[in-house]
Amino acid sequence: MADTFPLKELRQLLEKARTVDADLKQFGAKNHKYQWNPPAALSDVEEFEREFGVALPEGYRDFLLQAGDGGAGPFYGLFSLKQVRGWLGWPLEPEKPPVLRPGMSEVETDEEKNWKRGCIPIESEGDTYFTCLMVTGPDCGRVVYIDYEGSWVFFPREPDFLSWYTRWLRDTGNGYQRLGWFATDLAGDEESLCRHYQCAESEEEQWLAIVSMQKFPALSQKSVELVRTAMTDRLTMPDARGVLELLHRTGIDQWFLEWRWEAGLYPQVVREVYRLAFQMDLPSKPIINRWWRRIYQQLFQLPQEVWHSALEILAESGEVSLSDVSGLLEYAESPVRDDLPRDFRLFPDAEEHIDIWVKLLQEPPTSNTLNSTLIVLPLVRDERLLHALQALVEEYPSKAAVSVLAEIEHEFLNPQWPGIPRPYWLQLDFWQKADLGIDRTPPPDGIALHPFIALGMEEVFHHIPSTAYDWNRDFERIKTLKLIPSEKNIRVWNAKILKSDGMKSKEKGSRKVIIESPCEEFPPDPFYFDLHDWSTISRMPNLTALMIEEVCVDDFSFLAGCQNVRKLSLRNTNFMDCRLLLELKNLQSVDLRLCHLTHKEALDKLQGVQIEL
């Protein structure tokens, strides 16, 4: 154990970092909270070294033994030695030279299966990215960032673990911002970066100094002038998105973009305006107002790979109609064509141009363009959409097409009326449908039974019948049936079941609910569960009180069989046709509040019936 290990300095730097980032705003800080684990036992470290046949680099070994066995670190925090062992899913093979080396950016994984040999994982960066430490070979002791699939490799400049870790503490304590992976930029303060720029022997090193200035919360006038000088020499650079935040803070972002636009660098500027407007913490409206007209004028001349960025800018402007850009469909090629429906859906008037969506529904049935269309299709009550979807399902009854057709049919069955809460649409999840046999072929001469009716009967009799005889007996016995959503019979309120629900709930508020399962098996033959058939209510001859409230009913024709019902509530359902009530000869009261009624003249014929409207 080295006597020169800077434990006191590290503790001071850690305390300063904790104080400066008291709100835990830095990436991963909420996970490690700037706390070290207790130090590792020497026996554990030596056992690890024996097990894997390596000697841990001195700085890292001393850190484990004196500072902490994992804890605070640049990303989600350093692993404990136990976690290192758990994540180490490859042989270290210390007798072979490591594959990883400074200067490489990715690994040919086909050529070298065990490309991670010689390094151990010491930290997760999130997703499939890890911080590793070289423990064999000429770069032993250096930190390396990797993607688990080998598609990205980066060695920070710091020569060893302790230098890398100390830099993180110092940068955090100085309040430096982190853009991207820690230590992929240059270390140092403003003065040292200015010197690096002036003494750099290559344009690449100069540019690295400029990019590294993005970490400073504020820049001195000297640094601002240096950035302006550097960008004047790089007005035609291929891609400036990586330094836009720095340009914005120095006040030259718009000058820079204006010059590039005048130089005809339209695709580059579109991408850069998109980043300014949508990917940085800036007010987007002034940026979009400044650029949307020019982008629209160039839209049909832009390369297809920037259409997404251009269309989102135009949609957000509120000044461009979907019909103004739909002509792109004539020229679009895959994969850009496949994303156009999503881009079109961003326009505020997307629901007003059903002809465009009908055209998209005529794309080849197996195309990704059609799949994208089905995901974002406006769910509106329109005959053209309904007919287009019916034709599609007849030709190609995919699960997605069938589901979206059901959504559009529901718009006709259960429209959204002004001032009336939309009745709930009763659903079951995938596993419930499987348990209850919802999608199985009904038995011959079967009797449909809605699961929600079964739940209503269970509330009355406190059981679910197990035989057909018991079902028919309960139908005979029941006198009052309440079918009203409550915490007892609803499992999930405002459920998102289809991909389109995300868009629909954003626009209108989801009114889908997943009901509880009345049981976990098929009902006895000849009964079968059906989410759309309410006709079993007409099989209840002694029913005198029926309350169906706040739900969408597929078909109210069953009311004709409810001859003994005296008290009826259809409050806040999708009931409309008042003529159906004339079939109920013993009706004494009916609650039709929050219903959108038609043929109300029929109500005048309900002599002696108390009607609530």
Report cis status (omega within 30 of 0) of the bond before 335. yes
Q: Which amino acid is at 37?
A: N
Q: Is the peptide bond before 526 cis (omega within 30 degrees of 0)?
A: yes
Query: Residues 472, 555: contact at Cβ < 8 Å?
Result: no
**pLDDT of 183 strictly over 90:** no
**Taking a C-beta distance cutoff of 8 angstroms, is the pair 493, 475 a contact?**
no
345, 315 contact by CB (below 8 A): no
Task: Name 86's Cβ contacts closer than 8 Å, sequence gap at least 6.
Answer: none
Instruction: Tell me the C-alpha to C-alpha distance, in Å, between residue 136 and each of 88, 96, 141, 156, 393.
Output: 15, 9, 8, 17, 61
Question: In this structure, are residues 313 and 271 in contact, taking their beta carbons and an 8 Å threshold?
Answer: no
Q: What is the crossing angle of helices 7-20 and 161-173, to 10°? A: 40
Question: What is the structure's pLDDT at 2?
Answer: 57
Give the H or E element holding residue 491. strand 490-492
pLDDT at 537 over 90: yes
> Rounded distance, CA 589 to CA 257, Å?
71
Identify which of 11, 190, 165, 175 has the alpha carbon closest to the alpha carbon of residue 77.
165
Cα 80 to Cα 231: distance, rounded to the nearest angstrom:
44
Residue range 72-101, pLDDT digits in tens:
999 999 999 999 999 999 999 999 999 999
Confidence of residue 504 (pLDDT cuts 50, 70, 90): very low
589 burial (CB, 10 Å; 0-12 / 13-18 / 19+) is middle
Amino acid identity of residue 493, one-letter, is W
**583 backbone dihedrals φ, ψ, rounded to 5°:** -75, -20
Report the pLDDT averaged over residues 574-579. 96
For position 179, what pLDDT does the model report? Answer: 65
Closest CA to 10 of 45, 42, 49, 39: 39
The tokens for 195 are 């010197």
Q: Domains in the chain, start-ordered, CATH in brackets? A: 7-173 (3.40.1580.10), 347-413 (no CATH), 425-612 (3.80.10)
pLDDT for position 184: 85
Rounded-to-integer distance, Cα 121 and Cα 132, Å: 4
Burial of 148 (0-12, 13-18, 19+ CB in 10 A): middle
pLDDT single digits (tens) 424-473:
999 999 999 999 999 899 988 999 999 999 999 999 999 999 999 999 99
Position 495 pLDDT exceeds 80: no
pLDDT for the residue 177: 85
- The share of the chain scoring above pLDDT 70, in percent, equals 96
Q: Are 179 and 279 in contact (CB under 8 A)?
A: no
Average pLDDT of the segment spanning 2-31: 93
Strands 153-154 and 143-147: antiparallel
Structure tokens, 588: 């004494």
Contacts with 21 (C-beta within 8 Å, 6 or more apart), sequence order: 29, 34, 172
In DSSP notation, 520-559 reads SSPPPTTEEE-TT--GGGGG-TT--EEEE-SB--S--GGG
Q: Which residue has the tokens 């890398």?
A: 164
The predicted pLDDT at position 510 comes to 59
> Which of 128, 152, 135, 61 minimizes the C-alpha distance to 98?
135
How confident is the model at residue 506, as a pLDDT? 40
Model pLDDT, residue 111: 65
Model confidence over 410-434: pLDDT tens digits?
999 999 999 999 999 999 999 999 9
Cα(395)–Cα(156) distance, integer angstroms: 57
Per-residue confidence at 67, pLDDT binned at 50, 70, 90?
very high
- Which amino acid makes up residue 400? A
Contacts (Cβ under 8 Å, ≥6 apart) of 575: 553, 556, 592, 595, 597
Helix %, strand %, coil % of the chain (to 5): 45, 10, 45
Contact yes or no for 537/555 (Cβ under 8 A): no
In this prediction, residue 109 carries a pLDDT of: 66
| Stretch 3-24: mean pLDDT | 94
What number is the average pLDDT over the span 465-493? 95
For the cut 90, the answer to whether the pLDDT of residue 4 exceeds it is no
Angstrom CA distances, 32 to 79, 259, 472, stand at 10, 45, 63
Residues 268 and 300: beta-carbon distance below 8 Å:
no
- Among the listed ranges 70-74, 147-151, 489-493, 519-523, which one has the minimum average pLDDT value? 147-151
Residue 505 has pLDDT above 50, yes or no: no
Of the listed ranges 133-142, 393-402, 487-496, the least confidently predicted one is: 487-496
Are the CB atoms for 10 and 166 separated by under 8 Å? Answer: yes
Beta strands in 340-417 (DSSP E): none
Bridge-partner residues for 515, per DSSP? 490
Contacts of 504 (CB under 8 A, 6+ apart): 379, 407, 510
Q: At 588, is the secondary structure helix, strand, or coil?
A: coil
Confidence at residue 148, expressed as pLDDT on a 0 to 100 scale: 85
pTM: 0.79
SS3 state at 447: strand
Residue 398 has pLDDT above 60, yes or no: yes
β 589-591/480-483 pair status:
unpaired
Return the closest-CA partner of residue 423 out of 559, 592, 574: 574
Task: Assess whether pLDDT exceeds 60 at residue 26.
Answer: yes
Phi, psi at residue 383, to the nearest 5°? Answer: -60, -35
Q: Torsions phi, psi of 310, nearest 5? A: -65, -45
| pLDDT given at position 586 | 95
Report DSSP state, residue 254.
H
Average pLDDT over residues 323-328: 96
Q: Provide the mean pLDDT of the chain.
A: 93
| Amino acid, single-letter form, for residue 10 | L
Torsion region of 59: left, alpha or beta (phi above 0 gives left; psi -120 to 50 gives alpha) = alpha
